[in-house]
Structure 1
Amino acid sequence: MPIPTEPIGSIPRPAELLAVMAAHAAGQADDNELAQAQDQAVRDTIGRFEETGSPVVSDGEQSKPSFATYPISGLSALAPDGVVIPFADGHQRQLPVLTGGPFRYQVSADTFLRRAREIASVPVKQAVIAPSALSLLYPAQGLDGYSREEFVQDLVRESQSEIRRCLDAGAEKVQLDFTEGRLSIKLDPSGEVLRQFVELNNQVLAGFSDEERARLGVHTCPGGDQDSTHSLDVDYADLLPTLFQLEVGNVYVQLASEADPRRVLEVIAKHIRPDQRVFIGVIDPIDPVAETPEQVRDRVLLAAEHLPVDQFGTCDDCGFSPFGDDVSTSRDLAFAKIRSRVEGTRLAAEQLGV
């Protein structure tokens, strides 16, 4: 496709999978039943992805409990009372907190990728949680016998290993989910927390070559959960200049739901590096109405007024169901939106003559 287009992450899970997940949590379904339901959901997700004509697909995170906590699923050294993330509609998500070390991933995303590539007939990308998000697991008061410095060393090693395994397993792209980036500005307007997050992520990214970093990316958004966000009121101008300092070749930016996308594009144009491609969000997962291909086309044409056509692509603003219990969007609506993204990007490419 002359203008590349990619998904971001999660797809709403089918009712059958949600029912088995609930039964499993209640002790009424075993691990094998859950694995079978997840596998069927992955098959259906990739099949429906390919029907949209999407040149790159994902497994829709059907087997992840959430986009953020999948690596620690099953980790025993956790307590439930970690960092609280408030959303604009009043609901909250709460991270767990580490109670001891050493810190080790329990699940690596390449396990999802390998299964998806067995099913898909087109390239598959893989989303992973940014190490900066997992850094929030370490308690502010510290841990006896396990310093923050030791934790960070373990976290960097574990994150590098996961990304390396995804690259080795044939991922078209490996995307770091960095929703905490925009949120950090809300919590710390000075930007110091954001700079610390970027420094930590770049410490991980330093373990890869220039050629490998061309296949790595970072996704930023204001958070999307149960039709609400946690940081849409944060000015992108306070985030993007620092975000583009991340040593990745691809930057995925939520844009369709922005009040003033032209202004955001002007900021992007000032800070994108020559070796980077920015994927602009042309689909709003929270909007209950599917965009038309023509709406997507016009959003792409607006981007072309500000960015070189060989340095941008299109994507969805965010995943459609980043937490396993989020049923605010239907699968049918999600795939209708994806189809419009693919078709609208094609229409724009034709009009631009590329």
Structure 2
Amino acid sequence: MGIPTEPIGSIPRPPELLAALSDHAAGRISAGELAERQDVAVADTIGRLAELGCPVLVDGEQSKPSFATYPISGFAGLSPDGAVIPFADGHTRQLPHLTSGPFSYQTHADTYLKAAQRHTSLPVKQAVIAPSALSLLYPADGIPGYPRERFIADLVDAAEADIRGCLDAGAHVVQLDFTEGRLSLKLDPSGGVLDAFIGLNNQVLERFTAEERARIGVHTCPGGDQDSTHSLDIDYAGLLPKLFQLKAGNFYVQLASEPDPDRVLAIVATHLPPDARVFVGVTDPIDPVLETPEQVRDRVLAAARHIPPAQLGTCDDCGFSPFADDTSTSRDLAFAKISARLEGTALASAALGT
């Protein structure tokens, strides 16, 4: 068996789907018509990944409004003026904030998983949002009659159900997107917010058995969006030792865009649990330059100098289009980068004799 390789999640939407999203927002097509176009895009995404030889598929998040907000789309007790996330190029993303309780998911991720499974018999991975990200919905000044403690209890229950539903539906792996981990150190350099995030996520993860956690992973990156990031300037050394305290069997770590990958790999090697696997990023989704298979191979071999091959995998640094309106990377370039990851990982596997 060679070194395993997996995508992270999102793939840029095809022009036809982007047009359908605009038409639906303007009231020109129905929700049913939009769903049909989303399903076509899911089928195309899965088909193209299978043609490339991907051993594990994703639906490309073609039907999600974003990787972060899918559970709360349509929730009545929200106001749009929540936490603002600034990116290095000056653009921002804004979360809503909760105005009333009780909190609940409106959509669970197994909905997307089951829709994808209709188009393939190959293993399908499902990304879910980490509960730590959704904890940012609760306002600092509280909600009358709905204390934060009750919100957290509701959130933990909902996040567990989101993961468990995907495991029960046969997901190859369930991946928690934890992009806010590195961002938390920008918001609070003391690490207190990060500690709270780790503790909250572990409240959920500890509800699963060791066998179940072997099929659960956590993804970290500096938040790629519109060819920019929100926290690439934050030292990984503050995040990684705490990241590996999470009770998960797999970790997906952005690495290709790091200025000093060997330093990061040394930190990973020191803190990676002995029963966990780390998938290192070998392609950079926001870099317009296409990696060659040989570049990917060399990145894998560099990682193998620090991490035992039995604990090593490869991935893309991040999703290619985490928000539906992000068109900064073309769909064809995304698939080309994925192809380079597959070919380069195979070359490295051969060189390592795995």
TM-score range, shorter chain: over 0.9
Structure 1 residue aligned with 2:137:
137
- Between Structure 1 and Structure 2, how many residues are aligned? 354
5 Å matches for 1:214-253? 214-253=214-253
Q: Which amino acid counterpart does residue 60 of structure 1 have in structure 2?
A: G
Give 2:180's aligned residue: 180
Pair 1:337 & 2:337 matched: yes
Separation in 1 of the partners of 2:38 and 2:289?
28
Map Cα deviations across residues 300-336 of structure 1 (whole Å, 9 max, x no partner): 0000100000001000000000000000001100000
Q: Which residue of 2 aligns with 1:18?
A: 18
* Residue aligning to 1:273: 273
Letter in 1 for 2:268: I
Whole-Å Cα distance in 1 between the matches of residues 267 and 274 of structure 2? Answer: 15
Residue 290 of structure 1 and its aligned partner are, at CA, apart by 1.2
* 2:63 paired residue number: 63
Q: Secondary structure at the match of 2:313?
A: strand
Cα deviation, residue 99, structure 1: 0.5
Equivalent residue letter for 2:334? A
CA distance in 1, matches of 2:221, 2:174: 17
Q: How does 1:304-343 map to 2 (within 5 A)?
A: 304-343=304-343
Aligned to 1:97: 97
Structure 2: which amino acid aligns with 1:43?
A
Residues of 2 paired with 1:63 and 1:117: CA distance? 14
- In 2, the alpha carbon distance for the partners of 1:28 and 1:78 equals 26
CA distance in 2 between partners of 1:227 and 1:121 (Å): 34
2:301 is equivalent to residue 301 of structure 1: yes
- The alpha-carbon deviation at position 121 of structure 1 amounts to 2.9
Unaligned segments of structure 1, at least 5 residues: none
Distance 1:225 1:83 in 2: 17
Once the 2 structures are TM-superposed, how far is the Cα of residue 256 of structure 1 from its aligned partner? 0.2
* Separation (CA, whole Å) in 2 of partners of 1:109 and 1:15: 24
Worse overlay, 82-91 or 114-123 = 114-123
Deviation at 1:26, TM superposition (A): 1.1
What residue in structure 2 maps to residue 75 of structure 1?
A: 75
1:192-251: per-residue Cα shift (whole Å, max 9, x none)? Answer: 100000000000011100000000000000000000000000000000000000000000
Q: Which moved more, 1:25-34 or 1:127-136?
A: 25-34
Pairwise CA distance, 1:2:
1.0
State the AA in 1 paired with 2:251. V
SS in 1 for 2:128: strand
TM-score (ref. length: structure 2)? 0.99
Deviations 1:104-149 (A, max 9, x none): 1000000000111111231000000000000000000000010000
**Aligned-partner Cα distance in 2 for 1:287–1:252:** 19
Instruction: For 1:88 and 1:280, locate their aligned partners in 2 and report how far apart those are by CA, in whole Å.
Output: 23
1:121 corresponds in structure 2 to 121
In structure 2, distance between residues paired with 1:101 and 1:322: 27
Determine the C-alpha separation between the residues in 2 that align with 1:29 and 1:133.
32
Deviation per residue, 1:245-272 (Å, 9 max, x gap): 0000000000000000000000000000
One-letter identity of the residue aligned with 2:314? T
Q: Distance in 1 between matches of 2:223 and 2:326?
A: 13
Structure-1 residue corresponding to 2:285: 285
**Aligned equivalent of 2:165:** 165
What residue in structure 2 maps to residue 262 of structure 1?
Answer: 262
**Alignment RMSD:** 0.5
1:203 aligns with 2:203: yes
Which residue type is aligned with residue 245 of structure 2? Q
Corresponding position: 1:351 with 2:320: no
- More displaced, 309-318 or 26-35? 26-35
| Residue aligning to 2:155 | 155
1:29 shift after superposition: 1.0
One-letter code aligned to 1:78: L
Structure 2 gaps of 5+ residues are none
Q: Distance in 1 between matches of 2:258 and 2:120?
A: 33
Matches of 1:321 and 1:111 in 2, distance apart?
A: 20
TM-score calculated relative to the size of structure 1: 0.99
Amino acid at match of 1:53: G
* Percentage identity across paired residues of the two chains: 71
Q: Distance in 2 between matches of 1:194 and 1:310?
A: 29
Give the letter for the 2:206 counterpart: A
Distance in 1 (CA, whole Å) between partners of 2:52 and 2:335 is 7
The residue type equivalent to 1:4 in the other structure is P
